[in-house]
């Protein structure tokens, strides 16, 4: 069985690479000898990192050749169906779906994150193409609701979860504090991981994160470590936040695999995060967290685990409330054991839903449609 997978792979984004690692793991749990080919910006890196085949995502000839030989085309996971990045990005991913269908191949939307879709043209394009997919799974209820709102009526939409919730860390990756110690970062005190990203200059998100990190370092006596998920942008944002702080903090400098970054999050005592997959890593590891929301996908994740954002980075005239975020740090720290237990209780269902998407993908490749 050959499966071709499309996503934001080969760009060095830890969240997207973690999703691909999880998708590969889960598909191989179902079909151990499955042949997986990812469409990647850096095929050699993808082959080496994930142990699968890879084709250049911008080469029409390579993409067409791989799809022609596939039993199933998989679109996802990740936030592929949105137009915040650009309409061109949305058109690219939907164009691949259309190509696969024109070539007579079944198409499976794998735990897709959908939205925002601000343009009427975006909504129209999603409706036209998604209605021709063979099977659709989405990672959260808001994505399902948006697909239905734009007019996707067939096939049935199944809600699963982000693949990373089911990602297993092998023994070689379980060395979070060791990695920090090797970079000269103190590990004897509580560890607070902070994840920020570039965003609207008027959002105040870096100022808010710095204030919350100061609260963790000053009041809780924690070691604050900024962990970039996507270089170089997150490194620049992290260093800018460090400059805004009063207390000492650190920026993780080395290049690490998604599983190693997940291990760092797992070994942390608290996570303050804007990056979606920093929060997914925290939930999967039952690490208490405080979220800065900038996108509906953050709210969808928080809804799934019964939490609310500590602040919002909306931009424009509404700057993120740093004082509120700092207060949330204190509040979460006070109930960290309760939160850890709640996340641990939620983890099996999330991991099971993540694996369900792989089983459904294989069933679709075998010609069995999702139940209506």
pTM of the model: 0.95
Determine the CATH number of domain 171-346.
3.40.50.2000
DSSP state of 275: S
- CB of 192 within 8 A of CB of 268? yes
Q: Tally the residues of the chain.
A: 372
All structural domains of the chain with their residue ranges: 2-168+350-365, 171-346
Give the DSSP H or E segment for 293.
strand 289-293
DSSP-based helix, strand, coil % in the chain, nearest 5: 50, 20, 35
The yes-or-no answer to whether 2-168+350-365 and 171-346 have a common fold is: yes
Specify the CATH class of 2-168+350-365 in words.
alpha beta
Between CA 96 and CA 102 the distance in angstroms is: 10
Q: What is the pLDDT along the chain (372 residues), one digit of tens a residue?
A: 999 999 999 999 999 999 999 999 999 999 999 999 999 999 999 999 999 999 999 999 999 999 999 999 999 989 999 999 899 999 999 999 999 999 999 999 999 999 999 999 999 999 999 999 999 999 999 999 999 999 999 899 999 999 999 999 877 777 999 999 999 999 999 999 999 999 987 789 999 999 999 999 999 999 999 999 999 999 999 999 999 999 999 999 999 999 999 999 999 999 999 999 999 999 999 999 999 999 889 999 999 999 999 999 865 456 789 999 999 999 999 999 999 999 999 999 999 999 999 999 999 999 965 544
């Amino acid at each position: 069985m050959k499966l071709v997978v499309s996503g934001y792979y080969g760009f060095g984004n830890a969240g997207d690479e973690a999703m691909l690692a999880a998708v590969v793991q889960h598909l191989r749990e179902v079909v151990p000898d499955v042949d997986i080919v990812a469409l990647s910006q850096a095929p050699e890196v993808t082959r080496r990192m994930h142990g699968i085949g890879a084709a250049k995502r911008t080469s029409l000839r390579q993409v067409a050749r791989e799809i022609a030989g596939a039993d199933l085309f998989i679109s996802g996971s990740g936030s592929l169906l949105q137009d915040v990045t650009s309409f061109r990005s949305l058109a690219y991913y939907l164009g691949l779906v259309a190509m696969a269908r024109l070539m007579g191949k079944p198409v499976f939307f794998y735990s897709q994150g959908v939205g925002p879709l601000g343009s009427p043209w975006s909504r129209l394009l999603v409706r036209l193409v998604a209605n021709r997919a063979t099977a659709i799974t989405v990672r959260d209820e808001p994505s399902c609701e948006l697909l239905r709102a734009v007019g996707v009526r067939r096939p049935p939409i199944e809600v699963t979860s982000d693949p990373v919730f089911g990602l297993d860390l092998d023994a070689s990756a379980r060395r979070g504090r060791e990695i920090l110690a090797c970079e000269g970062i103190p590990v004897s005190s509580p560890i607070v991981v902070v994840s920020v990203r570039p965003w609207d200059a008027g959002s105040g998100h870096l100022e808010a994160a710095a204030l919350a990190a100061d609260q963790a370092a000053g009041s809780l006596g924690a070691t604050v470590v900024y962990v970039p998920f996507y270089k170089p942008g997150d490194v620049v944002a992290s260093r800018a936040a460090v400059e805004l702080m009063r207390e000492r903090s650190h920026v993780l400098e080395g290049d690490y695999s998604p599983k190693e970054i997940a291990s760092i999050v797992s070994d942390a005592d608290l996570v303050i995060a804007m990056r979606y997959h920093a929060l997914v890593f925290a939930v999967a590891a039952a690490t208490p967290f405080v979220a800065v929301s900038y996108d509906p996908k953050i709210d969808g994740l928080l809804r799934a685990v019964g939490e609310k954002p500590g602040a919002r980075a909306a931009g424009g005239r509404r700057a993120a409330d740093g004082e509120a975020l700092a207060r949330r740090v204190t509040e979460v720290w006070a109930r960290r054991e309760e939160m850890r237990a709640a996340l641990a209780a939620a983890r099996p269902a999330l991991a099971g839903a993540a694996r369900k998407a792989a089983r459904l993908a294989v069933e679709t490749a075998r010609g069995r449609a999702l139940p209506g």
